[in-house]
Amino acid sequence: MLASIALVVAAYLLGSVSFAVVVSKAYGLPDPHEYGSGNPGATNVLRTGNRKAALLTLLGDGLKGYVAVIAAIRLAPIVGAADWVVPVVAVAVFVGHCWPVFHGFRGGKGVATGAGIVFALHWPLGLALTVVWLVMAFGFKISSVAALTAAALMPLGMFWVAGNAPVAWAMVPIALILVWRHRANIRQLLAGRERSIGR
């Protein structure tokens, strides 16, 4: 039990590292909480015009989701962790990103971290959802439309490939949080005032 709890706590702490904040400080950019949408994520960092910083933010946030889940998959049998640890770790690293203890619980919306989690659990599904995101993003030029579409398909896809498994059920709260974190974007979309990518 202690090993299982340790893996979950470690996943939350890893998720709590906001790469938007870390990368922005490294590049001398403003705090991503203080401009644009106020969201510490790659899309908002892109609004500074620094594409490299935005890319590093995207990769960092995605990798922490991937690493946390892969580590749980590999370590769980070694340390004798419970069967539920991998799906709970997936949720924990995602919650850490959205409500990071290191950044005053002011986190991102979770798109990149969610993608990293899916790639760790089933990379072909992660690739398929990435293609969906890219098609929607380039088609509509609005990041939130792409994110909401991928969020809606994520649990459906995981149930399709994994069946009625705990990892599939873990995608349900992750998808719901993703949608909830985009609630302001949904209001902006309905009002026709949502920002386009790069604006």
What is the model's pLDDT at position 139?
A: 85
Summarised one tens digit per residue, pLDDT across range 87-98 is 999 999 999 999
* pLDDT band (50, 70, 90) for residue 197: low
Alpha-carbon distance of 76 to 64, in angstroms, equals 18
Alpha-carbon distance of 32 to 57, in angstroms, equals 11
Domains of the chain, residue spans: 2-191
In the numeric block, the tokens 């890219």 are attached to 134
Summarised one tens digit per residue, pLDDT across range 33-65 is 988 778 898 888 988 888 999 999 999 999 999
pTM above 0.75, yes or no: yes
**Phi/psi of residue 104, nearest 5 degrees:** 65, 25
Summarised one tens digit per residue, pLDDT across range 12-41 is 999 999 999 999 999 999 999 988 778 898
Alpha-carbon distance of 51 to 54, in angstroms, equals 5
Contact assessment for residue 199 and residue 47, using Cβ atoms and an 8 Å cutoff: yes
